[in-house]
Amino acid sequence: MIPLYYFFLAWAVFLLLFAIMSFLSILQMVRFGLAGLGTYASTFLFLAITVIAILGSTVYLASVDWNQSVNIFGGLVNSPYFNPNPT
């Protein structure tokens, strides 16, 4: 049984890594991109889609009961298909 909040912590760590990489990408786009409407439009589109995705997942994750546990193998351990010691 794995507590569900472990998955939330993993999501938060990946979100932090994504934020760092996004910051570096935006910095590169704005600093070294051609000074034109296309560069700023693609940067804005990237930021808009990112914000929508993160807000959407945050709204969903706010409704999750994080005190639940997850049983990864379910009833598979007691099934005839999972036999760690075949004879």
pLDDT at position 80 over 80: no
Q: What is the spatial distance between Cα 48 and Cα 58, in angstroms, rounded to a whole number?
A: 15
Nearest residue to 2 (alpha-carbon basis) of 77, 78, 74, 75: 74
pLDDT at position 11 over 80: yes
pTM (2 d.p.):
0.68
Q: Which of 13-27, 48-62, 71-85 has the lowest mean pLDDT?
A: 71-85
Q: For 16-43, what is each residue's pLDDT tens digit?
A: 999 999 999 888 887 877 777 888 888 8
Q: What is the spatial distance between Cα 62 and Cα 49, in angstroms, rounded to a whole number?
A: 20
